[in-house]
Chain A
Amino acid sequence: MDSQLKRGLLDACVLAVLRRGESYGYKIISDLSEYIDVSESTLYPVLRRLESCGAVKTRSEEFNGRIRKYYAITQAGISKINDFIEDMAQFKKIESLILE
């Protein structure tokens, strides 16, 4: 798959998981594993990218004597998902053109 396309897809997948509620690294990977194979080394850059563009916000909380970072979707993140859904509609049109 094209790297740019895959990047967009992964961003949308992570945002979709976060739309269910705030989550943390390990749980995001577990939730995503039902749909897409995501490794830890793939998730970290995705979360960093989404955080830097304001699509997700973070907070840290103590858990079992250590710090756990929680990620939550923002309004910008929801807009990003909506943009992705619109893009998908266009992709479907293109797909039908290619498959003709």
Chain B
Amino acid sequence: MNVKKWKKQFRKSLKLCGVKDTFAAESFYDELIDDKLESGDSEELITAKLGDPYSIAEKIAAEESDAKRREDNPNGRNASRVRTKRLSVAAIIGYAFLVVCIGVPLFCAYLGIIVAVVSVSVAGVACSVGGSVSTVALFLVGFFFNSAIKNVLLISCALCLTGVGLLLFVLFAKISALMIKGLIGVFKFTVNVIKKEI
């Protein structure tokens, strides 16, 4: 994992664990990572040594809870370490219900949009290929069958078709990539959260 990805996951984990002072934690780790990079460590080595961002965020959240408890009860003894709040069975059932009722239809709709966007992208390729073939064909044989002016107009239309096709392909291919990336990100994040909660 590279440093950028680790930091991104760490930021998400801090929010997920309910850490209040996320800025201080992020600044501390940013500084530490920069120092390690300057000392010659590779990004992979640094992130491997730092470990799982979620575990670190959990530790910080637990320490914040402890600190708050010490503030509330300065004379308290035998204060045991507080773990971050875990989901109860009722909450898990609630979430499962939400996933089935809202998550699945949303997922299907999202998947449908991805298919539509990919289709437009493929249509763009087809349009572009068709336009190119028409241009070449008209250029080679069109003058024998059409008048010169008519043929120039037809070639211009075919070129336009190629351009529009290419534009559609580039635009919608990028949108597809972004949507698929987003879907994978959401899936990974959900799996990570479920794994931690279980």
Contact = CB atoms under 8 A, between A and B. Distances in A.
Indicate whether A and B interact.
Answer: yes
Contacts of B63: 45, 48-49
Interface stretch (B53-61, B111-119, B146-154, B190-198): B53-61
Interface in B65-122: 67, 81
Interface stretch (A13-21, A61-69, A75-83, A87-95): A61-69
A66 B29 CA distance: 13
A3 interface: yes
Contacts of B34: 64, 66
A40 B52 CA distance: 12
B35 A26 contact: yes
Contacts of A41: 50-51, 55-56, 59-60
Most chain B beta-carbon neighbours within 10 Å: one of A45, A49, A69: A45
Interface residues of B, number: 23
Given A49-B63, A49-B67, A52-B67, A44 B35 contact: no
A54 interface: no
Contact of A3 (B30, B50, B81): B81
B24 interface: yes
Interface residues of A, number: 19
B25 interface: yes
Nearest to A49: B67
Contacts of A64: 34, 38
A67 B26 CA distance: 12
Contact of A66 (B25, B31, B50, B56): B31
Interface in A33-70: 39-41, 44-45, 47-49, 52, 64, 66-69
A48 B62 CA distance: 13
Contacts of A8: none
A69 B27 contact: yes
A21 to B, nearest CB: 17
A24 interface: yes
A17 to B, nearest CB: 16
B145 interface: no
Given A26-B32, A47-B28, A48-B67, 18 more contacts: A24-B31, A26-B31, A26-B36, A29-B32, A40-B29, A40-B32, A40-B56, A41-B50, A41-B56, A41-B60, A44-B25, A45-B60, A49-B63, A52-B67, A66-B34, A67-B27, A68-B31, A69-B27
Which A-B residue pairs are the 6 nearest by beta carbons? A26-B35, A45-B63, A41-B56, A25-B32, A44-B28, A41-B59
23 contacts: A24-B31, A24-B35, A25-B31, A25-B32, A25-B35, A26-B36, A40-B29, A40-B49, A40-B56, A41-B50, A41-B51, A41-B55, A41-B59, A44-B25, A44-B29, A45-B60, A45-B63, A66-B30, A66-B31, A67-B27, A68-B31, A68-B35, A69-B31
